[in-house]
Structure 1
Amino acid sequence: LIKEVKELSDRYNYPIPEIWIEPGRAIVGEAGITLYTVGSIKDVPGIRTYVSVDGGMTDNIRPALYQAKYEAVLANKMKEQSHQEYAIAGKCCESGDMLIWETDLPKVEHKDLLAVFSTGAYGYSMANNYNRFQKPAVVFVENGNHQLVVRRESYQEMTRLDLSYLHREG
C-alpha cells in the first residue's frame, strides 16, 4: 500500500501525505494514578458530601474541560467497605474544580490518601499554575521500586519570569 501511494504521489507530483498517530491515553492512560491527601470534608444535607483534596484542576483539568470521568479509592483504607457516596473537589475554589462528582468510599477522614485511577495520559502535560499553585511531582513505580522523574515545582521556579516592580517617586 505504501508503494502504491508513493507511485501515485510521484505520478501526480503531489507530496506523500503524512500519517500521524497520537496514541496518548491508549498507552499510558491506564498506567497513571494521581495521589491526593484529603483536606476537609463538608456535608451539605440532602445534597452531597464534599471531600477537598490537595490538588484538582491544576494537576488534572480534564474533568473541568470535557467532563472526564474517574474512579478512586482510599489507598490507606483499601480493605474497608464503602461507607457512603462522596464528591471530590479540588483546592482552587472554583465551581468547575470537581475531580469526581460521585464515588463510593469508606468513611473519609482528614489526611486520608485518595488514589485516582487512569490519570496518566495528560495529567502532567496539561498541569497548570492556576491560582499560583505549583505543579506536582511525578514518580514512576514498577515492581515495588519507585523513581522520582519530575520533582515538585517550587514557588521560585513558578515565579521565575515575574519582574519585580519598584515604585519610584518623583
Structure 2
Amino acid sequence: MTDNIRPSLYQAGYECGVINKIGLDKINQVTVAGKCCESGDILITDTDIMEIQSGDILITTSTGAYGYSMSSNYNKIPKPAVVFVKDGKSKLICKRQSYKDLISLEL
C-alpha cells in the first residue's frame, strides 16, 4: 500500500521477479503482500515466481511514474528507492527514504 497503492485502488496488475535469480525456473505460486498488515495490502495475486530466500530482492516491473508519486508514509514506513532501467542499464533516480528523513519535519 505504501509503495504502490494502485493495486488496492484500481486493481492495477503488475509482474514481479527476484532480481538476483532472473532466468531461473518459476516454481512457486505466491501472493505478494505489502508490509502494512491491512486486508487491501495485496500487490500481486497468484503469480509464478522463483524460489525466494531471505536477502533476495523482489522487484515489480513497469510501475511507472504513478507508483512513487502516489506512495505514502502510512504506518511510518519510509518510501523505497526508485531505479530506472532501460536497455539493460540501470540508474538510481530516487534514493530510499531513511527513518531519519521520515521524522525530520516533526517537532
- Once the two structures are superposed, the pairs formed by residues 1-170 of structure 1 within 5 Å of their partners are 57-163=1-107
Segments of 5+ residues of structure 1 without an aligned counterpart are 1-56, 164-170
Tell me how far apart the structure 2 counterparts of residues 78 and 144 of structure 1 sit (CA, whole Å): 13
Which of structures 1 and 2 has the larger relative contact order (alpha carbons within 8 angstroms, sep 6+)?
2
- Give the number of the structure whose alpha-carbon radius of gyration is greater: 1
Tell me how far apart the structure 2 counterparts of residues 145 and 83 of structure 1 sit (CA, whole Å): 27
Task: Find the counterpart in structure 2 of residue 3 from structure 1.
Answer: none
Tell me how far apart the structure 2 counterparts of residues 158 and 64 of structure 1 sit (CA, whole Å): 24
Superposed structure 1 runs of 4+ greater than 6 Å apart: none
Tell me how far apart the structure 1 counterparts of residues 20 and 79 of structure 2 sit (CA, whole Å): 24
1:108 Cα shift?
Answer: 2.2
1:139 Cα shift?
Answer: 2.7
The count of aligned residue pairs is 107
Tell me how far apart the structure 1 counterparts of residues 85 and 62 of structure 2 sit (CA, whole Å): 14
Which amino acid letter does the alignment assign opposite residue 98 of structure 2? S
Task: Find the counterpart in structure 2 of residue 52 from structure 1.
Answer: none
SS in 2 for 1:91: coil
Segments of 5+ residues of structure 2 without an aligned counterpart are none
Tell me how far apart the structure 2 counterparts of residues 105 and 128 of structure 1 sit (CA, whole Å): 27
Residues 69-109 of structure 1 deviation map (CA, whole Å, 9 limit, x = unaligned)? 11122222222222121011111111111111110112222
Q: Taking every aligned residue pair, what percent have the same amino acid on both sides?
A: 52
Which amino acid letter does the alignment assign opposite residue 70 of structure 1? Y
1:111 Cα shift?
Answer: 2.0
TM-score by length of 1: 0.56
Give the superposed CA RMSD. Answer: 1.8
1:67 Cα shift?
Answer: 1.2
